Amino acid sequence: MERIEVKTQHEIKMNKVNQSRINEVDFNSLVFGRVFSDHMFTADFADGQWQNCEIQPFGNLSMHPASNVLHYGQAIFEGMKAFKYQDGTPVLFRLEEHAKRFNASARRLCMAEVPEELFCEAIEKIISLDRNWIPTFEGASLYIRPFLIGTDGYLGVKPSQTFKFIIFTCPVGPYYPKPVTLVTAEKYVRAVVGGVGEAKAAGNYAASLLPMREANNKGYDQVMWMDANEFKYIQEVGTMNLFFVIGDKVVTPAINGAILKGITRKSFIDILKDKGIPVEERDITIDEIVEAYKTGELKEIFGSGTAAVASHVSELTHKGYKMVLPPVEERRIGNMLKRELNDIRTGVVEDRFGWIKKL
């Protein structure tokens, strides 16, 4: 694939709102992704370079009706969060890792990469500006959504040569307020090896909507995705990576090109290793999980992701066989990981991994 050459010179213009909307927001009843803060960042890629870098009031976009993104789906995004330490200092979690993954997605979809220094500087500036929008109650944060779209106004199936990079933020509460119920996929697939499963491509999520709605109609919260060949090997769930506690060890599906390289997943693995808890990244079959449940060895299932952090699974159904997991309060690993990560993000415990960027 031809790589788009990118020039990295940039200057960020500041265009602040005249009056903040923050007093209109009820921070005690936040719905995930429905409330947006005062500012957003935009930049344009044209003629081989990033230009028109600006922080401006949050608002609508204008684009050509034939824009590449609307017809051929050249669109990627990231999801990350800003928190506040107990002393009120705004902090970002693993900012550089998100910048790297964003550009890995861009390369897979033949899009212009955003220079890491521009990605990081834009996020730092917009969070510093809108720091008052960071909620501080338990489970809350300021969600950050960087995304990149192809903007060529041309009805030809080829990579766009112009792009728009945008960042906006949302104050949010917990993504999943309660444990979730899952059903294994038997008909639809999320991703295949060699496809775009490990990229945060918008189309991946569009393709998941019908199976999720069908699962919802049957009383389940989310779909556990399986491999496309045999529907035998577990991949991930909904918008999250998956972890299983079997006996005294933790297992998670190995990254194989069809599974998102989750940053929360990676952080959980680092914490487990740091605490001396056995953790394995390998292929996991659904038959292994069913057998572990029948023998009493399956202790926990939980998902990991930026939005949900750690989301406990209360039930898993496979071909009509329902597996009911122990009560959440009895779960040692998932609760520990969620608490540990949140404590690092809010400064309750020392950031011994170097994950935090203070603003």
Q: What is the percent of the chain where pLDDT is above 90?
A: 91
With respect to residue 321, please indicate whether it lies within any of the assigned structural domains. Answer: yes
How do 222-226 and 180-184 pair as beta strands? parallel
Closest CA to 91 of 101, 83, 99: 83
Structure tokens at 199: 């990229």
Same domain as 241, residue 144: no
pTM over cut 0.85: yes
Looking at residue 276, its pLDDT comes to: 98
Same domain as 166, residue 201: no
Looking at residue 10, its pLDDT comes to: 78
Looking at residue 9, its pLDDT comes to: 58
Q: Where residue 174 falls among pLDDT bands split at 50, 70, 90?
A: confident
Q: Average the pLDDT over each of 33-47, 57-71, 280-294, 301-315 and give the range with the smallest value.
A: 301-315
Same domain as 247, residue 162: no
Domain count of the fold of the chain = 2
With respect to residue 357, please indicate whether it lies within any of the assigned structural domains. Answer: no
Looking at residue 31, its pLDDT comes to: 86
Same domain as 151, residue 280: no
| Residue listed under structure tokens 């017809």 | 71
Looking at residue 237, its pLDDT comes to: 93
Averaged confidence pLDDT in the chain: 95
Residues 6+ apart with CB under 8 A from 136: 84
Single residue among 172, 196, 225 that ends a domain in this structure: 172
Maximum separation of any 2 CA atoms in the chain, in Å: 63
| CA pair distance 52, 354, nearest whole angstrom | 33
With respect to residue 3, please indicate whether it lies within any of the assigned structural domains. Answer: no
Q: Print the domain residue range for 29.
A: 13-172
With respect to residue 2, please indicate whether it lies within any of the assigned structural domains. Answer: no
Three-state secondary-structure class, residue 347: coil
With respect to residue 5, please indicate whether it lies within any of the assigned structural domains. Answer: no
In this model, does residue 2 exceed pLDDT 70? no
With respect to residue 7, please indicate whether it lies within any of the assigned structural domains. Answer: no
Same domain as 218, residue 339: yes
113-172: pLDDT as tens digits: 999 999 999 999 999 999 999 998 888 999 999 999 999 999 999 999 999 999 999 999
**Burial grade of 212 (CB within 10 A; 0-12, 13-18, 19 or more):** middle
Looking at residue 307, its pLDDT comes to: 78
Which alpha helices (H) appear in 198-309, and where do they start and end?
202-207, 209-217, 263-274, 286-294
Q: Interior CA angle at 267 toward 344 and 224, to 5°?
A: 125
Three-state secondary-structure class, residue 304: strand
**Burial grade of 229 (CB within 10 A; 0-12, 13-18, 19 or more):** exposed
193-216: pLDDT as tens digits: 999 999 999 999 999 999 999 999
Same domain as 199, residue 103: no
Q: What are phi and psi of 75, to 5 degrees?
A: -155, 130
Single residue among 132, 156, 172 that ends a domain in this structure: 172
Q: To the nearest 10°, the Cα dihedral for 232, 237, 240, 242?
A: -50
With respect to residue 286, please indicate whether it lies within any of the assigned structural domains. Answer: yes
Residues 6+ apart with CB under 8 A from 214: none
**Burial grade of 60 (CB within 10 A; 0-12, 13-18, 19 or more):** exposed
Same domain as 204, residue 128: no
Same domain as 118, residue 54: yes
The CATH number for 267's domain is 3.20.10.10
Closest CA to 111 of 148, 154, 61, 153: 148
Structure tokens at 299: 């202790």
How large is the average pLDDT for residues 311-328? 97
Single residue among 172, 206, 231 that ends a domain in this structure: 172
